[in-house]
Structure 1
Amino acid sequence: MPNEALSGRTYLVVEDEYLVASDMQTMLESAGARVFGPVSDVRQAMEVLSEPSLEIDAAVLDINLHGEMVYPAAALLARRGTPFIFVTGYDCAAMPKEFSAAPCLSKPTVEADLIAALSEISSTRDLGLAAEQM
């Protein structure tokens, strides 16, 4: 069912587990969003995020990608001013303090939780962009 906050937006999915990535892609597309990716490792995520023409509204980041932490990609997103959420099979409390404000969802990800978290960061970004334009 389309979601007003996500409809027409583009989200990058960074997830190394094929079935989880596929499920998230399906959830987002059924909410009316476009999905870029999924990409499955940190190197590939950094390459994608370094592309100047990349236009995404937000990202969904699995914290642990084949044993490598996604934090360099999260830092790049933060520098670009692009909101993101984390998903993990581990404890969200173990995140570095610099990312503690980012929403963190446990896997397996529940569709309603994913949509709600992305809706929240999307609407927060909209408020920030509107304020900049005033």
Structure 2
Amino acid sequence: MQPYVNEIIATLPDDPDHPADVLIAEDDPIIAIDFEDRLLSFGVKHVRTVASVARALQEIERREPDFALLDVELVREKSFAIAERLTALKIPLVFVTGYGAEVSIPAQFAKVPRLQKPCPSDALEAALRTRKL
């Protein structure tokens, strides 16, 4: 499967409660589109979606996001290398997972917020509003 980058830019007024640029690492295109649509409806101006660790790291290098949503389990890899890079840059992030409490998160990320897939819109928006490292 070819890694992709989907970048969507909205023309909405700035909302100080939401990040302007969000990076999504999600390997399921349907879930990625759902996240994109909801983030844009909340007032996020730029949404970039990638499906692999390598593409996420390239996108971070190209332009640092203000916030990131990371699916823990990407195809054949975990997103922890992305989380390490974002943490080093002091960029807030949230893990999203369909595996709930069963997913193993390294101790260094124990305090990173998690959202259970499918996550309700109010929980996703709350994560954006309370973004802190």
Q: Is the pair's TM-score, using the shorter chain for normalization, greater than 0.5?
A: yes
For residues 30-72 of structure 1, the C-alpha deviation after alignment (integer angstroms, 9 at most, x for no partner) is 0010233210111111111223xx1421101110110200000
Q: Is residue 5 from structure 1 mapped to residue 14 from structure 2 by the alignment? A: no
Q: Distance in 2 between matches of 1:64 and 1:23?
A: 17
Q: Secondary structure at the match of 1:16?
A: coil
Give the SS at the match of 2:130. helix
Count of aligned positions: 119
Report what 1:50 is aligned to.
61
Structure (1 or 2) with the greater helix fraction: 1
Normalised to the residue count of structure 1, the TM-score between the two structures is: 0.81
Q: How far apart in 2 are the matches of 1:16 and 1:63? A: 10
2:17 aligned partner, one-letter code: A
How far apart, in 2, do the equivalents of 1:55 and 1:78 lie?
A: 12
Work out whether 1:72 is the aligned partner of 2:81: yes
Which consecutive residues of structure 1, in runs of 5 or more, have no partner in the other structure? 126-134
Aligned-residue RMSD, C-alpha: 1.8
List per-residue Cα deviations over 1:86-114 (Å, max 9, x = no partner). 10011346211101111100101211111
Structure 1 stretch 19-28 or stretch 36-45: which is displaced more? 36-45
CA distance in 2 between partners of 1:94 and 1:19 (Å): 24
Aligned counterparts of 1:34 and 1:59: Cα–Cα separation in 2: 14
Structure-2-length-normalised TM-score:
0.82
Partner residue of 1:86? 95
Moved over 6 A (4+): none
Q: Secondary structure at the match of 1:59?
A: strand
2:112 alignment partner, one of 69, 84, 102: 102
Identity %: 31
